[in-house]
Structure 1
Amino acid sequence: MGHMDHFSAGWVTPVLSYAMACVGSALGLRCTVRALEATGASKRNWLTLASFAIGSGIWTMHFVAMMGFSVEGTPIRYDVPMTVLSLVMAIAVVSAGVFTAGYGRSRVTAVVLGGLGTGLGVAAMHYTGMAALNLHGSVGYDPLLVIASVAIAVAAATAALTLSLIVRGPVLAALAALVMGLAVSSMHYTAMYAVTVHLAPSNAELAGATATEFLFPLAVLLGSFLFLTSAYVALSPTGKRHESAVAAELLREVELTTA
């Protein structure tokens, strides 16, 4: 059994990875809300941006956290194509969830299906990213913790979508992003606790890139993309009249479903 350290770089990786998850979530949820006010190509563009933001936010969170992951007795390398695939997967699966939420007939099904899609996107990305790990030994998982991690991801994504689609105001929007960020982080660390590594010591050269060679530049690139896009979205004007109309429509729907 290899001794694993999830925080070998100190508190920097969990804090920074949580921040990245929150920024990606905030941006993605904001774009999803914008998409609901829009129609046609504009709606599609907002939903696409939301998928990219949440997908890359989740991915950056995972790999920034992974920079603090080390196993005593073996170096760790990352399979580059697999790692890239995990990013593509995150964006693709999240976009299925986000588009479902954006084009959903009723808000309730939109939130449920959107949350399910987005949550599964988080999980698919995480386990694909983990499959990209190369080390001297084999990686095993505790099936119960794996199921728990997927459940956390789905529940959290659903909660965040509910908060952002049903509530209004900057405070609640920030809260939704923090919930989603916390969810992604707790899913990540739950999934990491599911891991056991059985070492097979060897001096053979491991295939793949080190975290600093490959993950770091990509994470910096995606992080900058998220921050710049957030600034742009925050500064671009919103249709306030639309927002109040959407809110009014929502209240009617809620009244109808609860009546």
Structure 2
Amino acid sequence: MVNHFEMGVWLLFLAYVTSFTGATIGLACTVRSRAATTPAVRVAWLVLASLSIGGVGVWLMHFIALLGFGTPGNPIRYDVGRTLLSAVLAVSAVFGGLALLGQRFVPWRLAVAGAVTGLAVVLMHYTGMWAVNVRGTVDYQPGLVVLSVIVALLAATAALWFAVTVDRLPMRLAAGAVLALASTGMHYTGMAAMTVRLDAAAPDPRGVEVFSFLFPVFVLAAAALALPIVALLTVNPDNDSPSVTRSGVTVAIQER
């Protein structure tokens, strides 16, 4: 027997809120990257966007959702190397997708960027599931796997379209909500595709328990979210340089 909500359905909402937060902040960084005046500044914003979207909106959401995955009476272990690999792939692939988006709206660029970003969600999920070891075997239903890919592609493309065509806060929040839907929807569709065959006679799976590396994961995720937030709050969007507000007067620190 496999349980996807062992800790309660509330974990689904926590996973979605986490994904929404990372996606919204990351998309705000993406908008800043499109207005950047130099390649170096643009890349810096894209890195921050990738950390927020890929590291928090996609990978941390996946990790939180997996806390509810259980095989009652049988241990679950995680391969740390593969888990870290899934995080690196998520951030790297999202960076590639956002870089392809470019600084001007071009339909074919949006389609390619949406495909790459959506596939980043898929790549992270199945690499992350490769890191999960159970006492038995894991198979996937092809039809649901294909559906999970379609969900990720469509929602990621729609989210990027919102982000690059609308410059109003409500629509940016809508873009974050859609991208979070892509991540969580793809995750739970992918989990529904799993077929776990437990074998009580098999040895305990290799790896570590999830709670043994839970603290460092959240520390890294907090850093991945804090950096973009600080940048968004301190960098003047008009000149991409930090600004400080004193007594209602904004003093821009110009690069020399």
**Shared fold per TM-score greater than 0.5:** yes
5 Å matches for 1:46-61? 46-57=45-56, 58-61=58-61
Q: Contact 2:74–2:135 (CA<8 Å) still a contact in 1?
A: yes
CA drift at 1:88: 0.8
- Residue 210 of structure 1 corresponds to 209
Q: Contact 2:78–2:208 (CA<8 Å) still a contact in 1?
A: yes
Q: Percent identity?
A: 38
1:10 aligns with 2:13: no
What is the alpha-carbon root mean square deviation over aligned residues? 1.9
Cα separation, partners in 2 of 1:34 and 1:114, compared to 1, 3 Å: same
Cα separation, partners in 2 of 1:14 and 1:25, compared to 1, 3 Å: same
Farther-moved stretch of structure 1 (228-237 vs 110-119)? 228-237
Q: Contact 1:145–1:191 (CA<8 Å) still a contact in 2?
A: yes
Output the CA distance in 2 between the equivalents of 1:20 and 1:223: 10
Output the CA distance in 1 between the equivalents of 2:55 and 2:6: 24
Output the CA distance in 2 between the equivalents of 1:226 and 1:89: 15
Output the CA distance in 1 between the equivalents of 2:114 and 2:136: 35
Output the CA distance in 2 between the equivalents of 1:241 and 1:234: 13
- Residue 185 of structure 1 corresponds to 184
Bigger helix share: 1
The one-letter code of the counterpart of 2:95 is S
The one-letter code of the counterpart of 1:82 is R
SS of aligned partner of 1:5: coil
Q: Contact 1:47–1:102 (CA<8 Å) still a contact in 2?
A: no
Give the structure-2-normalised TM-score: 0.87
Output the CA distance in 2 between the equivalents of 1:143 and 1:222: 34
- Residue 229 of structure 2 corresponds to 231
- Residue 249 of structure 1 corresponds to none
- Residue 248 of structure 2 corresponds to none
The one-letter code of the counterpart of 1:164 is A
Cα separation, partners in 2 of 1:26 and 1:222, compared to 1, 3 Å: farther
1:72 aligns with 2:45: no
The one-letter code of the counterpart of 2:26 is G
Q: Contact 2:23–2:176 (CA<8 Å) still a contact in 1?
A: yes
Farther-moved stretch of structure 1 (109-118 vs 122-131)? 109-118
Tell me which of 211, 220, 224 is aligned to 2:218.
Answer: 220
SS of aligned partner of 1:23: helix
- Residue 126 of structure 2 corresponds to 127
**What is the total number of aligned residue pairs between the two structures?**
238
Query: 1:177-235 CA distances to partner (integer Å, 9 max, x unpaired)?
Result: 11111221111100000001011113633211111112x22431233124423531442
Give the structure-1-normalised TM-score: 0.86
Output the CA distance in 2 between the equivalents of 1:6 and 1:89: 24
Q: Contact 1:32–1:102 (CA<8 Å) still a contact in 2?
A: no
Cα separation, partners in 2 of 1:129 and 1:177, compared to 1, 3 Å: same
Q: Contact 1:34–1:238 (CA<8 Å) still a contact in 2?
A: no
CA drift at 1:48: 1.4
Output the CA distance in 1 between the equivalents of 2:111 and 2:206: 41
Output the CA distance in 1 between the equivalents of 2:167 and 2:197: 49
List gaps (5 residues or longer) in structure 1. Answer: 243-259
SS of aligned partner of 1:171: helix
Q: Contact 2:101–2:109 (CA<8 Å) still a contact in 1?
A: yes
List gaps (5 residues or longer) in structure 2. Answer: 241-256
